[in-house]
Chain A
Amino acid sequence: DSGVTQTPKHLITATGQRVTLRCSPRSGDLSVYWYQQSLDQGLQFLIHYYNGEERAKGNILERFSAQQFPDLHSELNLSSLELGDSALYFCASSVADGRRQFFGPGTRLTVL
């Protein structure tokens, strides 16, 4: 158990819909990272937040957005969903320097 929690574990929805994925980092970790992993693909970095502020963006679509709240949990919002958005979405957390990331169990999103 990494100490990072993600909810829900599975999510099935339809095209055009909007969903919110939630992540709670390890106690004391200020950084939160979001990744997308499609079937048999590598991990694609989406976005990094540090103590509530956006630090870096990767290949994140405009239909996707994220935020980190004062209690340090983070949410990833995916809107106007397409079939190609079906993937595993991982959240990771780290202490400030990001040297070692601890990953959550992931949320499996299926868009039908």
Chain B
Amino acid sequence: LAKTTQPISMDSYEGQEVNITCSHNNIATNDYITWYQQFPSQGPRFIIQGYKTKVTNEVASLFIPADRKSSTLSLPRVSLSDTAVYYCLVGDVGGYQKVTFGTGTKLQVIP
């Protein structure tokens, strides 16, 4: 699996847009990029997944440049309930056989 690098922590005020970037320089052709959210003492929850360009769903957007060596999770107008750890994963569609979550980015939303 491609190794990923994310900022350890970020702070943001309520109502602001938050962008969390993940670097994955050795991403492979078959790899997808997936983001999960985890609240304390809970299992991670799928947020969004993409292969290239831009993906948007009801909670977030995912921007992937043409070279796919990085990706940016965008959370619009965050609220206090978005305070959580966000993990970026990169892996083969055919099998997340060895899964590496890494340390994630701890997002703190400030009132």
Residues of A within 8 A of B (CB): 2, 4, 33, 35, 42-43, 45, 48, 55-58, 88, 90, 92, 94, 97-106, 108
Complex Cα gap A26–B83 (Å)? 27
Whether B80 sits at the interface, judged by CB under 8 Å, is no
The B interface, classified by DSSP as helix, strand, loop or mixed, is loop
Give chain A nearest CB distance to B20 CB in angstroms. Answer: 15
Chain A-chain B contacts (Cβ-Cβ < 8 Å), number: 68
Cα A88 to Cα B91 with chains together (Å): 24
Listed in ascending order, the chain B residues whose CB lies under 8 Å from chain A are: 32, 34, 41-46, 49, 87, 91, 93-104
Nearest-CB distance from A90 to chain B (Å)?
5
Given contacts A35-B101, A98-B97, 20 further A-B contacts (CB under 8 A): A2-B43, A42-B87, A42-B101, A43-B44, A43-B101, A48-B97, A56-B97, A94-B96, A98-B95, A99-B32, A99-B34, A99-B93, A99-B96, A101-B44, A102-B46, A103-B43, A104-B43, A105-B42, A106-B41, A108-B41
Q: What chain B residues lie within 8 Å of A48 (beta carbons)?
A: 96-99
